[in-house]
Amino acid sequence: MKKLRLLLAALLLCAGFSAQAQNVDQTSDAVLDIPTTGDYQLDPKDATIKMVTSAYVNFKEDGVTQFVEPQRYKGTGVYNEDNTVQYNQFDNMYNKDWVQFKLRNTAEKAYIIRFQTACKKDGSQVKFELKSGDDTDLDYTYNVPNTDNWGRWQDGVIFISDPIEMGDKTLTITFLNEDGTTTANLRNLRFEGVDGTIETSSLYTYKYVGDTENEACGTIAISPLQDVYVNGSEVTLTATPAMGYKFVKWVDQYDDEYTDNPLKYTISESTDLSAYFEEVEMGNAVPGTIDLETRSYRANGMIQEKNGVKYLGDYRNGQKEQFQLIVKKDADYTLSFRAATKEDAPSLKIVITDATDESKVELEKEVTIAKTGKWDSFPDETTKKVEGVHLTAGSKIMTITFQEPVKAKYTVNLTDITFTDSSDPTGIKTVETTSDESSKAYNLMGIEVNPATAKGIIIVNGKKIVK
């Protein structure tokens, strides 16, 4: 019957009827004491909820007004295997929908307000207002970061710097987005009391190429992103190079250097952090091995390193990376890579298109990866090959999408992504021992060796040889 009404509603709307907003309310008389302790959080079931932009459709059937409710829900929570509630959350909140808690402040304290948000769009905000009658203790609008998934959560924090008086308060939280539709999900809201005044500091970031400040070389993402931070707060900074650049290091105002990216940094005073980049040659030569530092999509994964091996890691379902390829000649190639995973059935979708025309697809392949048991071990048996990859000469874009049947799980870690000419599958040539010590030679770990005395497979002047 509900499906029939939905269909009828759609038909009537097409015939000239219009959707009308209907207010939906959930009221609560619960009064909650603050400060909260331990893991306690303000539960959506204890809130008054006002949905002021709910898109209910009304129409008449046999002269009687009917209301068709869309598939929207509030505070349904996430459930454990025994069907008990693990936590509740505010979700599918539309622009200007709001919730309100009745609070009783039991101690004259300053407060840190902690929470988590998840959002799959840009431009969402959550406005926090704490009032005692007509007196305002807090009026702050938090810019919600795009986590690219409605279930991927990120910690947020705001604070009331000076102690507030005891007594009854109201906390009103308004969900906002200029597009007028869905905003952000919110959970784990709690008040943490602090004796005295909360000390805060600011964070300033800059981007450099060499000694010159350069805005075009990349971007810096800060999580959580705030105007000021409580001293002792940890922030995560991620530098994303623009095409043609790679990240080198972070430098603070004391000239201390950090090479982690993302970088976890504890703020104890107002801080300057500069991200340094350097220019790199555009594109990866094919045949050849992909330089992981040239990735251009920059999903939430990262380049990691263990035992001298760099690899792409920490990618969840649906995240992507891109690499620019410069194909030297029209030929058939073999694409190989080493993969590691602790999941059962992840896969990689690999698409190669013309750099100037994405409709020209030269490879579209999905590769299933068997469980290897470890995330950071890449023995030869983890090598996967895609053979018969025909590429035309010129500039290409390779997009790798990391996939996992179970959402929000990690997928596959990758290293040693290599294209070889299928007419010469190994790319290895046997040569006579040479005494040409002027030649640059490296082993497969990238360590420079003496070409006159080195044994096994080495790289001399960019070519693999056997000695």
Convert the pLDDT of each residue in 334-354 to its tens digit.
Answer: 999 999 999 988 999 999 999
pLDDT > 70? residue 191: yes
What is the count of structural domains for the chain? 4
Task: Output helix, strand, coil percentages for the chain, rounded to the nearest 5.
Answer: 5, 50, 40
Least confident of 47-51, 317-321, 433-437: 433-437
Whether 288 and 273 share a structural domain: no
Whether 239 and 184 share a structural domain: no
Phi then psi for residue 172, to 5 deg, are: -115, 125
Whether 262 and 391 share a structural domain: no
Which of 279, 302, 331 is a domain's end point? 279
> Which of 391, 315, 383 lies closest to 352, judged by CA?
391
Which of 384, 401, 421 is a domain's end point? 421
Whether 375 and 297 share a structural domain: yes
Whether 76 and 179 share a structural domain: yes
Whether 188 and 139 share a structural domain: yes
Segment 373-394 mean pLDDT: 92
pLDDT > 80? residue 4: no
Whether 248 and 374 share a structural domain: no
- Residue 456 is predicted with a pLDDT of 61
Which of 264, 279, 294 is a domain's end point? 279
> Which of 67, 28, 31, 66 lies closest to 47, judged by CA?
28
d(CA 109, CA 192): 9
Task: Tokens for 334, please give them.
Answer: 């073999």
Q: Residue 264's domain spans which residues?
A: 201-279
- Residue 454 is predicted with a pLDDT of 64
Q: What is the DSSP letter of 407?
A: T
> Which of 188, 124, 118 lies closest to 147, judged by CA?
118
Residue % of the chain over a pLDDT of 70: 75
Yes or no: say if 362 and 350 are a contact pair by the CB < 8 Å rule: no
Whether 210 and 188 share a structural domain: no
Whether 271 and 320 share a structural domain: no
Which amino acid belongs to residue 370? A
Whether 415 and 433 share a structural domain: no
Whether 251 and 157 share a structural domain: no
Whether 415 and 300 share a structural domain: yes
- What pLDDT band is residue 2 in, cutting at 50, 70 and 90? very low
- What pLDDT band is residue 436 in, cutting at 50, 70 and 90? very low
Segment 130-141 mean pLDDT: 94
Task: Tokens for 99, please give them.
Answer: 């919730």
- What pLDDT band is residue 107 in, cutting at 50, 70 and 90? very high
DSSP letter string over 147-183? -SSTT--EEEEEEE-S---SEEEEEEEEEEETTSSB-
pTM of the model: 0.54
d(CA 398, CA 348): 12
Q: What is the 3-state secondary structure (H, E, C) of 53-114?
A: CCCCEEEEECCEEEEECCCCCCCCCEECCCCCEEECEECCCECCCEEEEEEEECCCCEEEEE
Q: Kindly report the CATH number assigned to the domain that includes residue 183.
A: 2.60.120.260
